[in-house]
Amino acid sequence: MFLIAFILPFEKTTIRYALVIFLTLYFFYGDYKELLNKKKWWILSLTILWILPFIQLLLFQKIDVYWGSLMTKLSLLILPIIIVITSGYHKMNISKTLFFFTIGCIISAAFCGLYAIFNYYFLVNENAFKYASISVFHHPGYFTMYLNFSIALLYYNLLKPETDYHINRKWSVVIISLLTFFILIASSRTGWVTNVLIQFFFISTLMVRKKLNSKFFIYFLLLSIPFSTTIYFNKTIKSRFQEVIMNTTSSENSKKIRSSTSVRKKIWKTSFELIKKKWLFGYGTGIGKKKLENQYEKEGYIYLYQKKYNTHNQYLQFFIDHGIVGLFILIFFTFGMIIISLKQKKYIYTLFLVIIIINFMTESILETQSGVIFFAFFNTIFFYDCFNNKNLAF
């Protein structure tokens, strides 16, 4: 578990091979009698997120055509099973798992920063610090989601220190600052919004609990200088920042769409048109995306058709693919579990779900490997913690 958590922020091929090795070992040594334990069936309910698409494609007789889509989401099936069959002899240490994930995020972000500096100064690449260029391992939207979760963990540890989360107070503040600066440069607007919400919530909470002294206030004040300077002088950040504030979009009738805000509005409008036609059961995973592409072409949105965009909203994607039933299932495993996690005081799970929901609103997270493995790995661990009788760390 620790190894998977550590390498999650790194290159996708690496995590793919590591998962294969990890899952093979656990399948070989797992206790399959645990699958008959009724107390563990709640954990197995998570597999419905993979089983539902599988059954649909089976009924539509399209499983051979869209098998690749199912394979992308395979961790949604495998990880819950692994957790159940190993739960009898494998004590899960959540706080240490989160520590290794945070370290992985720090090292991967540092590598991206050094790589950008090398490209800029030695290879004279003027775009080295722009958007996808600086995010070496994942799309900026996904990588900033990882970093924001790490920042939330670091803040949480300031409020409630955990012995197995081996990052002290001073280093936490420094790391939070550096990761936040990276998120700013990466220019993912969803990443910015998520980060602002995290910062506001935790700084307010720390102030209320009187865990911030004058030194920290001075530090944050000084930190605002390079942040504001970067926003002002970096053209990419400045334009994307202005779009967040002003919500600049192209005209409704324009077919030449370039602004990402405008792109999403057109995608969502087209998605609802498809949903109206088949809202009960949906089109099936993979099929829904193909129907969406055909609709772009039909309506003359050539840019969207050429880019083959999905819905850029996980809830809409589930609605198109699996109908109203699929949508309610996904709502339960996100909004529903927020309520349960709050009742059980599993606040780390709550933080994770809030970050996931924000990103679900602007990206189809479960349609890509970067998103689905992150969600499947941590959601399975936290879900298990909620429904397990034993008290786990953190």
Whether residue 64 is predicted with pLDDT greater than 60 in this model: the reply is yes
Task: Return the exposure string of 42-66: e unless at least 16 CB atoms fall within 10 Å of the residue's CB, then b.
Answer: ebbebbbbbebbbebbeeeebbeeb
DSSP states along 252-292: TT-S----HHHHHHHHHHHHHHHHHHSTTT-S-TTHHHHHH
**Percent of residues, the chain, with pLDDT higher than 70:** 83
Q: What is the reported pTM?
A: 0.87
Structural domain includes residue 60: yes
pLDDT for position 260? 66
Q: Examine the domain organization and report whether 121 and 226 are in the same domain.
A: yes
Please tell me which residue, 90 or 49, carries the higher pLDDT value.
Answer: 49
Please tell me which residue, 271 or 38, carries the higher pLDDT value.
Answer: 271
Q: Examine the domain organization and report whether 114 and 84 are in the same domain.
A: no
Distances (CA, A) of 71 to 15, 21, 393: 15, 16, 32
Give the domain range for residue 153.
99-246
pLDDT for position 159? 86
Q: Examine the domain organization and report whether 232 and 166 are in the same domain.
A: yes
Residue 239 binned pLDDT confidence (cut-offs 50, 70, 90): low
301: left (phi over 0), alpha (psi -120 to 50) or beta: beta
Structural domain includes residue 357: yes
- 287-296, 346-355, 382-391: which has the minimum mean pLDDT? 382-391
pLDDT for position 93? 83
Do 23 and 78 form a contact (C-beta atoms < 8 A)?
yes
Please tell me which residue, 92 or 306, carries the higher pLDDT value.
Answer: 306
Specify the length of the chain in residues.
Answer: 394
Greatest mean pLDDT among 118-122, 151-155, 167-171, 239-243: 151-155
pLDDT for position 256? 47
Q: Examine the domain organization and report whether 105 and 221 are in the same domain.
A: yes
Greatest mean pLDDT among 34-38, 195-199, 246-250: 195-199
Residue 166 CA, distance from chain mean position: 24
Whether residue 54 is predicted with pLDDT greater than 60 in this model: the reply is yes
pLDDT tens column, 74-90 = 889 988 988 888 765 56
Task: Return the exposure string of 223-259: e unless at least 16 CB atoms fall within 10 Å of the residue's CB, then b.
Answer: eeeeeeeeeeebeebeebbebeeeeebbeeeeeebeb
Structural domain includes residue 221: yes
Q: How many CB atoms lie within 10 A of CB 16?
A: 12
Structural domain includes residue 285: no
pLDDT tens column, 338-358 = 999 999 999 999 999 999 999
Q: How many CB atoms lie within 10 A of CB 115?
A: 14
Q: Please report which residue ranges of 87-159 form alpha helices under DSSP H.
A: 94-121, 131-134, 140-159
Q: Which of 218, 246, 274 is the last residue of a domain?
A: 246
Q: Examine the domain organization and report whether 84 and 138 are in the same domain.
A: no
Whether residue 293 is predicted with pLDDT greater than 60 in this model: the reply is yes
Q: Examine the domain organization and report whether 130 and 212 are in the same domain.
A: yes
Listed as own residue / partner, the contacts of 230-233 with beta carbons closer than 8 Å and 24 or more positions apart are: 230/181, 230/184, 230/185, 231/184
Mean pLDDT calculated for residue range 238-244: 58
Structural domain includes residue 8: no
Whether residue 162 is predicted with pLDDT greater than 60 in this model: the reply is yes
* Number of domains present in the structure of the chain: 2
What does the block give as tokens for 124? 């004279």
61: left (phi over 0), alpha (psi -120 to 50) or beta: left
pLDDT for position 3? 81
Q: Which of 205, 229, 246 is the last residue of a domain?
A: 246
Query: Any idea what DSSP says for residue 86?
Result: H
What does the block give as tokens for 115? 């790589």
Q: Examine the domain organization and report whether 198 and 131 are in the same domain.
A: yes
Q: Which of 246, 267, 283 is the last residue of a domain?
A: 246
Do 94 and 346 form a contact (C-beta atoms < 8 A)?
no
Q: Examine the domain organization and report whether 133 and 55 are in the same domain.
A: no
What does the block give as tokens for 158? 């300031």
Q: Examine the domain organization and report whether 119 and 83 are in the same domain.
A: no
Round the CA-based radius of gyration of the chain to a whole number and report it.
Answer: 22
CA distance 388 to 88: 12
pLDDT for position 168? 81
Listed residue (23, 163, 152) closest to 95, CA to CA: 163
CA distance 111 to 10: 10
Do 104 and 14 form a contact (C-beta atoms < 8 A)?
no
Structural domain includes residue 163: yes
Q: Examine the domain organization and report whether 103 and 240 are in the same domain.
A: yes
Do 292 and 311 form a contact (C-beta atoms < 8 A)?
yes
Mean pLDDT (the chain) is 82
Whether residue 58 is predicted with pLDDT greater than 70 in this model: the reply is yes
pLDDT for position 174? 85
Structural domain includes residue 334: yes
Structural domain includes residue 211: yes
Q: Residue type for 66, please?
A: Y
Whether residue 310 is predicted with pLDDT greater than 70 in this model: the reply is yes
pLDDT tens column, 128-138 = 677 677 888 88
Q: Please report which residue ranges of the chain form alpha helices under DSSP H.
A: 2-7, 12-29, 41-44, 48-60, 67-72, 75-86, 94-121, 131-134, 140-159, 169-186, 189-208, 214-233, 235-246, 260-277, 287-299, 302-307, 314-331, 337-343, 347-360, 369-387
CA distance 371 to 312: 12
Mean pLDDT calculated for residue range 4-23: 78
Q: Examine the domain organization and report whether 77 and 115 are in the same domain.
A: no
Please tell me which residue, 282 or 131, carries the higher pLDDT value.
Answer: 282
Q: Examine the domain organization and report whether 50 and 143 are in the same domain.
A: no
Mean pLDDT calculated for residue range 109-125: 83
Instruction: Give residue for tokens 């409008």.
Output: 269
**Percent of residues, the chain, with pLDDT higher than 90:** 30
Whether residue 250 is predicted with pLDDT greater than 50 in this model: the reply is no
